[in-house]
Each structure stands twice: as structure tokens, then as C-alpha cells.
Amino acid sequence: MDMTELSRVDALRLDSGYATQGELLRDIMAWLDLHLYYYYAHHQWLGPSSEMKNLLGLVVTREEFEHNLTKAAQRGLPAELSPAEREQIDLAITAIRLRLEKTTASLPLRELFERFGLDEFERKSVVLAYLPEIDLKYTKLFAYLQDDMTRKAAGMSLCCELFLPEGEELASCMSRFHSGGFVRLFQPSELEKGLLVLRREAVEFLANGTVRDGDAYRLFDAAAAREKLDPLTIQEDVARQLDAAFVYPGRCCIRLSGPRGGGKRFQVEHLMARQRRRCVFADLEGDNWRETAQSASLAADLTDAYLCLYHLDRKDETGQTVPPPQSMLEELERLELRRDKRFFLSQLASPMRLRTLTVELELPQASETERLTLFDSVLREARLTGCTTEELAAKFRFSPRQIRVACEQALGLARLSGAGEISGELIHRCCYRQAVHRLGELATQVRPGYTWDDVVLPEAQKNLMKRACGHIRYRHLVSSRWGFALRVGYGWGLSILFAGSPGTGKTMCAQVIAHELNMEIYKINLSQIVSKYIGETEKNLRALFTEAKNASCILFFDECDALFGKRSEVKDAHDRNANVEVAYLLQQIEEYDGVCILATNLMGNIDAAFMRRITYVVHFPFPEPPAREAIYRGLLPADAPVAEDIDWRFLAEKFEFSGGHIKNIVLSAAFMAAGEGAPISMRHLLRAAVTEMKKNEIVVVREQLREYADLLDDAQGD
């Protein structure tokens, strides 16, 4: 091969810089080709005779073995070059340097060299590893020169032999690849094999001048995202503390802790926007956090960005979230970074005993006032009907992210439907989609199916329940705007006790309140709560109220006297444990700031201390004849066929039933009529009423039925 066939570095344009990286790479490839040519010329690859049958080490002959045994140790290519050959290489590299000095364009290759502070040997090593990514001819050349078809990347040995610095031993040159920031640019797994393969982040940066988002990290560029960033409407004191820590003249770790979705990353994004900086956000959730942290730190240095690591919390053997271990924090502290600030984000705070100055900030759960500010901010251009943002802020103890997502979904669905407003039902539905909880394991969700029109109660009881609903609607006004929160530190929850005989409408009214407030309601499964094992009931109650806070729902305790019974005199360990359970439940009710509805048939069995924790007590009287008649009529749908012979007053006066029993009677009569293909008549209702009395062991006297007694003559077998 004649050297004149090689491409040459362009020496005719030394008075102008490189306009693009492509121009620079063409000259660099010409320079490298010259190196490879001389390296090839000064070495006998196949033994003294250079026979092709020994190509690429497929066959090792006796002659080749003897040649390798007797040839001198490698001293590196620079030591093998003649003065003329050295001059050719120097002229090529000088031409490239002269043009680079005049270059004003942004060239990723030069930026990488400068940001990592690479010396001449390290720069040449990066070039040697990068060129096979853009020209496949080098994979064949490297495989040939290393006598191994599987080694398509340049090895550390080949790199050192090509570019051995003057006065340096080959062994010390090889040691450069074992430590130092320069090594971060190469894939660790390939380095272990002795090969120089750039990491994905380095290849992307050299090709595009930036790094695309990975599976577990993303680049936040304040210049591009500043206009799209939502305003910082709350937690301004945290923002001021972040600003102070950021301008601290020295290296430090900034730790932000707080609930998931509480705005930790949002705060860092705003900090970067205020400082006009970039930041790489890396998600360290999972077991592969070390590799993610390494990749993200490299991406941060390549893009001249800060590093923010989040989801540092771990899971213990029971699946519970625990703070990040000290060993993990120390390892993250040792990550090599050009920037002197790094950010650690986690849900749970733990002491950070690090060598670097540590600034620890906590973002508490958003207060009701802050939640209101967020709801108002996101819904500022929307028309909300059927509820207010104050009501939403009182009901949903959401993080800023949950509020933003719920409101954006409601806005999108309203636009999609063509509605010019967001209904209360829609915004509540979108909010409940954001609620993350496991309440279904401890309770059963009840779908509200009744309204105030379905309730047959004296007006006093109805008005009392409507006042109870106002406790949620106007809580923000009373607690925050009127300042009562400064006087009353706890007990802002709503607890309602329904007391009355079975079937008087307690469960129905619980559903009515849920419908009125647009809230989900869960009926507590006592079998899942009460346990015979000491301490288990309290544990279940704690889990119940914790999940209820996350669910922002109504808790409905039916037959609550089973849980809230009177404490008794302690005679044995069982009595003591039962009293502890009641006391613990009273404490949970008092501290819970949501809605609890409790129903009991036995008011006298409720512990007296419990009554102080109750906001409203609603007594459900046994219905009088007018109320019973209204219940009968109200239970019949408009589409049901009804005969004209029904004497509603007679049924209401002669059969003293509660609403639950009347429901059974009407349903039973409807099925009898459907079976006969006839409308619902007095005969059907009378037979159903007598059956209900017999079921409850009440004797039916024929004379009491008066003129309607004959209607039972054909039903003697009932």
C-alpha cells in the first residue's frame, strides 16, 4: 500500500476555523489513518514471511511463534517513527490545532475535551473509541491490527502503543484506564475486556451536542422549559432556602424530603429556572440504582448540568418504605461531578453523616390553604359549578402533583365533551382517580344511590344532616379565613352518629350525605378490623385511618357499638385489652380530619367518652303512619304498574313497620305481581305485609284486616 493513497488533513484552509464537527472529524480521521498506516508498516503481523495462511491468528505456525518469542518488546509507535514520519504526523496535528483555535462554532468533541479536562493522550483515546461509531471501516482495521476478528473496538494496548506519550512507560500508560474521571466515558464491562467503547451518553453527546433522556433519567434545560413551567404558587420559603444553599461558595449536598408528589422535583426545576441552569433528574428506584446514578452523573457532566437524584427511599423485608441507608448516601456522595452542588430527594428524612456540607430541607404535607391556592391556580380560567375550590381543598389531602393532574384531567374532559364548565361531579371523579390507597382491603365501597328526596324523616333530622354537610363545605372559611384554626388545633373532622331502630334509614342517609358531598363512602368490615390477638385490632385501626386519609372518603361504621362499646371494669387481661382498643379508637376518631358516619341500634351501649368526639347526633325515630305511607309511595318507581285499589293509609296504620321492612314488603309484592303478569295491587301488598309479620314472629289477627281479610283467602299456604 502506498501512503499517497491515504486521505490528508486539509492544510489549505488554515486561516479559517471549522464550521461543523463533520469537517473536524474528516481531518481527525485523516490524522488517525496516518497513525494506523505507520503502525501497520512498522510491525510484522504474520511472522517473518508474512504468509496469509496465518491471517488473524486463525493458525499459529512454528515460524510465527519463534518470531513473537524473539522480537523486541513494544516501545510504542512514537519510538518507531523516523524523523520524516514524525514530521508528517506533527504537521497533521498542527493543522488541526490551528483551525481549532480559529473555530467559533460549537463543536461537541471540543466541548467534551474541555469539560472533562482531558490531556492529549486522553483526547486521542476518546477519538480512537468514537470513530468506529461513525465509520465502520475502523472496526475491520482494529480487528486486523489486534489479530482478533471479535475485537472490533480498539483495545487499551493498541491505544497505548499508538499514542504512548514521550518519556512514559507502556505499563504506566495502561494504568490510566483503571481510575480517574477520564475512564467514566467508557463502558465498564468493555473496559474489563480491555476494549475502549464509549458509553451511550458520550456517543450521543458527540453526535448531537446533548444527551437524550434515558430510561431512568431526563435532562431539564431551563432555557427550553422555563416558559412551560407552571408557576411556583406555594412553598416559597423553601424556594428561598434553596436559593441560599445554591449560591453557597463551595461543594454541598442539598437534601429535600417530603411526601411523594409533594413538589420536591418541582422546587429543583424552579431553582434551575431561576438560575438559568440545566439539571439531570435520575430515578434511583429499584435495584439498578448504581448504574443509573453513574449514567446520570456522566450525562450531567456532558451537558454541564447539575445532578438531582430522587426516589432514594428503599423497601424493607415487609414492604414498608424506609429512609435511604447511610451506605447508599455515601456512595452517591462519591460520584464524580463537575458541578459543586448535588440534590438528594426522598420521602423520609434521615440523618446524613457525610463529609460534604449537607443542607437538609423538608417539604411538609400541603396545608389546606396551600391546597386551595393550587386548586385556584390550576382552575383559574375554568368555571366550576356544583362545588367550590374551598370544598375540594378541605376534602382532598392531595399533594401538589395530584391536584395538578386531577384538575388538568377535569379541564380536558370538559373540553372534550364541549361543556363550558366543570361540574362538581366531574372534578370529584377526577380527584378520586388520583387517590392512592388500599382501603378496599379493610372496607367495602358503597355506591351512593339515594338523594334527599328519597329520605322520609322529620325536617329537624334532615336539617341537622344538611348542617353537617356544611361542616365540610365551609371548613376552610371558618378554619383559615376566620382564624379558628389558630384557636382550635385539632378536631376538624366531621363525625356523625346515627341512632335508631333497625330499618329506620341510617344506611340510606349515609349514602345521601355521600351523594350530597360527592364523596366516596366505604363501609367498614368489622371482621377485618377486630382481632382476638392483642395489639392486632389497634394495628388494623391505624392502617384503616391512614388509608382513609389517602382516600379522602367517608368511613361508615355500621353497628358501631361493636367497636365503640362502653369500657368496663378491669377484671382480667381481656377487659384491659378491650378498654385499650376503645381508647385507641376514640383517639383515632378525634385526630381524623375526614368524615366518619357511625350507626347504632343500641345508643345505650356507646361509651360516654365517645359522645364528646361526635360532631352531630341524629336520632332516627320510628316512622309514624304518615311517614310510613310516604315510604310506601316513595318506594314505587314511576314505571311500575300499580292498581287503583291500594289503600295506602290502611297499610300505613295497620302495619307498624320501619322503612327497611316496608322496602321488603314492596319488593316482595312487586315480584308476586310480576309472576302473575298483573299490576301491583292491594292483594300483593297485603300478602307481603302478612308474610313480613310472620317472619318477625308477629301474630296476624284476621279481624284486624277488616274488609281486606278476604284477600288472604287464596294464600293460606303462605
Res. 702 pLDDT band, cuts 50 70 90: low
State the Cα–Cα distance between residues 177 and 194, nearest whole angstrom: 9
Three-class SS of residue 356? Answer: coil
Confidence of residue 397 (pLDDT cuts 50, 70, 90): confident
Q: What is the pLDDT of residue 154?
A: 93
Query: What confidence tier does 704 reach under pLDDT thresholds 50, 70, 90?
Result: low
Q: What pLDDT, on the 0 to 100 scale, is given for residue 570?
A: 44
pLDDT, greater one: 75 or 697: 697
Name residues whose C-beta falls within 8 Å of residue 439's C-beta, 6 or more positions apart in sequence: 445, 522, 544, 547, 548, 550, 551, 553
Which tens digits make up the pLDDT trace of 425-444? 999 999 998 887 778 777 88
Check residue 170 and give its pLDDT. Answer: 85
* Pairing outcome for strands 384-385 and 321-322: unpaired
What's the mean pLDDT in 139-167?
A: 89
Q: How confident is the model at residue 133 (pLDDT cuts 50, 70, 90)?
A: very high
Q: What is the reported pLDDT for 56?
A: 45
Residue 381 is predicted with a pLDDT of 84
Considering only residues 563 and 378, tell me which one the structure prediction assigns the higher pLDDT. 378
Average pLDDT over residues 277-304: 94
Q: Name the one residue in this structure whose C-alpha cell is 366505604.
A: 522
pLDDT of 22 higher than 60: yes
Please give the Cα distance from 84 to 630 (Å, whole number): 114
Grade residue 70 by pLDDT with cuts at 50, 70 and 90.
Answer: low
Q: Nine-digit cell at 581? A: 382498643
Tens-place pLDDT, residues 27-37: 999 999 998 98
Q: Is the pLDDT of residue 569 over 60?
A: no
The pLDDT of 513-532, averaged and rounded, is 83
User: In this predicted model, which residue has the larger pLDDT, 11 or 410?
Assistant: 410
Average pLDDT value for the chain: 85
* pLDDT value of position 578: 58
Taking 60 as the threshold, does the pLDDT of residue 85 lie above it?
yes
Q: How confident is the model at residue 668 (pLDDT cuts 50, 70, 90)?
A: very high
The better pLDDT of the pair 205, 231 is held by: 205
Question: Tens of pLDDT along 296-353?
Answer: 999 999 999 999 999 999 988 877 889 999 999 999 999 999 999 999 999 988 888 8
Q: Is the pLDDT of residue 1 over 70?
A: no
pLDDT of residue 72: 52
Percent of all residues in the chain with a pLDDT value above 90, rounded to a whole number: 41
User: What's the pLDDT tens digit per position in 491-517?
Assistant: 678 889 999 888 888 999 999 999 999
For residue 324, give Cα distances in angstroms to 268, 285, 348: 20, 11, 8
- Which residue carries 499517497 as its cell? 4
| Sign of the dihedral through C-alpha 11, 13, 15, 17 | negative
In order of 42, 72, 153, 194, 453, the CA distances from 75 in angstroms are 12, 9, 22, 19, 98
Question: In 10 A of CB 108, how many CB atoms?
Answer: 18
pLDDT score at 713:
60
Average pLDDT over residues 632-653: 88
- Determine the pLDDT at residue 562: 67
- pLDDT category of residue 567 using cuts at 50, 70 and 90: very low
Q: How confident is the model at residue 113 (pLDDT cuts 50, 70, 90)?
A: very high
What average pLDDT does range 214-241 have in this prediction? 85
Tell me the domains of the chain and their CATH numbers. Answer: 3-207 (no CATH), 217-362 (3.40.50.300), 368-434 (1.10.8.60), 452-620 (3.40.50.300), 625-715 (1.10.8.60)
Q: Are strands 321-322 and 443-446 parallel, antiparallel or unpaired?
A: unpaired
Give residue 53's pLDDT: 46
Q: What predicted TM-score, i.e. pTM, was given to this entire model?
A: 0.77
Q: What is the mean pLDDT of residues 646-658?
A: 87
Instruction: Using pLDDT thresholds of 50, 70 and 90, give the confidence band for residue 46.
Output: very low
Write b or e for each residue in 549-559: b if 16 or more Cβ atoms lie within 10 A of its Cβ, otherwise e: eebbbbbbbbb
* pLDDT for residue 127: 96
Q: Is the pLDDT of residue 604 over 80?
A: no
Contact between 521 and 514 under an 8 Å Cβ cutoff? The reply is: yes
Inform me whether the pLDDT recorded for 47 exceeds 50: no
